[in-house]
Structure 1
């Protein structure tokens, strides 16, 4: 069992937590071509989008974190991460959807400024403020879904907890964690003690400590950050159009497969 991943990817963390909850043994590997846009090699063959995570189970190749999570749940049904009740299952999936789209985009955008220095001065201050305000909105929404329960699924750890844990934990890393003593902060304290989550968070911390070394690769074009759907939307709606335009000019951002060019072919030299 092989999992192509990056320890900082919230999507990959979600999958690792699920596999570890179910006791599935796997090898985690950072693809050599990650972030380069290259279309050769086993990673690109397994996922033409060149995104992590990708699960390789024998001859089976699966990409897209939610699809992987569904495969894991069906392949190893015990212990279940999804509740039996259809309404409760829908609630878990909705929580995951918001975490995967809106919340991930805010965390990603904040990281573009903190780690990759995509903006400075007044623009950086504005984008950080936007991220902080939106993070609070999302955390309030999550707290409402959690209610007074220990876990998002009620009495037991489940699908929504695995999805939300990497996002809230990254906010904590950024200094944007939930208010001390709040129900979401208490949930975060509980979830980080679970062995599956604790190991995944340790891997995140180790990778985050090396981000200063990696940042230059992404700003010089050696590797390119992917501005996919909700991430691009976040940067534009939050006032960072200049960041996108600079990335296009400097050729240090990329878009999902199949990639095009923002410039006519005659001008793309």
Structure 2
């Protein structure tokens, strides 16, 4: 692993965020020290304080490295790769680099939205009864489609980049692992299940997954903060799309009525 000099960077994040986990994995792969901090105003949509000053969207992750303040996980990942090029996460070949970025894009959009929607039902009880059953079934079916797509891209290789762990592995690992946590993991004996078993043993990933599991164990106790309106889950882009297309229109309407969901900046607090 590579090394880094100077003061440890500040990473505003949440250990349950797949976007933040991707950044933790990348920093650890490169041996870059960082301090992770859950913003005090996280989930409130507040526009005051250092977190909102660093990212007006009030979303994690945010990386603060000296005078540089960067938000949006893909841009942070690009910054890390350029700032600490060794060991590389992106391959040198342009087509292989594009392959990695496409894998990340689908994980960040379609896959994250399915996992997020399933969590809305499991952890935050946004739907109950028959509606919850239908939406869970939708999430399970969509997860299988996404995992089949990932398995096809993995093929017979150990890693998505071929012979070495890289960008796409860091991006896919949190998503597949969350599916495993939900009981929606890859089929036993499949190439994707073998990849997950392999990736979770990697020190950078193992540490990140342990933090995820510890935070997930506390979610039941914290969920009331999000349903009471004290904190509000952000219904953004692909997440909102997932909720609508998977039968959760009334979930969105109830969240608006009860004031316990929010939309992105500007004007979405």
Report 1:105-124 matches (<5 A).
105-124=113-132
Q: 1:91-117 deviations in whole A, cap 9, x for unaligned?
A: 000000000000000000000000000
- Given that 2:262 and 2:268 are in contact with CA atoms closer than 8 Å, whether structure 1 keeps it comes out as no
Structure 1 equivalent of residue 161 of structure 2 = 153
1:174 is aligned to 2:182: yes
Q: In the alignment, is residue 241 of structure 1 matched against residue 233 of structure 2?
A: no
The match for 2:135 is 127
- Give the counterpart of 1:165 among 162, 173, 176: 173
1:142 match: 150
* Count of aligned positions: 261
Deviation at 1:259, TM superposition (A): 2.1
SS at match of 1:2: strand
Q: CA deviation at 1:260?
A: 4.4
Match of 2:73 among 61, 65, 69: 65
1:207 is matched with 215
1:82 & 1:23 partners in 2: Cα distance? 16
Deviation digits for residues 211-261 of structure 1 (CA, Å, limit 9, x no counterpart)? 011100000000000000000000000110000000000000000001248
Match among 39, 60, 85 for residue 77 of structure 1: 85
The structure 2 residue matched to 1:43, chosen from 34, 39, 51, is 51
- Residues 55-110 of structure 1, C-alpha deviation per residue, up to 9 Å, x if partnerless? 00011100000000000000000000000000000000000000000000000000
Matched, 1:188 2:196: yes
Residue equivalent to 1:267: none
* SS of structure 2 residue aligned to 1:49: coil
Separation (CA, whole Å) in 1 of partners of 2:198 and 2:176? 12
CA 68–189 in structure 1, closer or farther in 2 if over 3 Å, else same: same
TM (norm. structure 2) is: 0.96
4+ residue runs over 3 A deviation: none
Partner of 2:108: 100
SS at match of 2:64: strand
Secondary structure at the aligned position of 1:27 is classed as strand
Distance in 2 of aligned mates of 1:180 and 1:21 = 28
Question: 1:221 aligned to 2:224?
Answer: no
**d(CA) in 1 for partners of 2:113 and 2:174?**
13
Q: Which ranges in structure 2 are unaligned for 5 or more consecutive residues?
A: 1-8
Distance 1:14 1:4 in 2: 13
Superposition TM-score, scaled by structure 1 size = 0.96
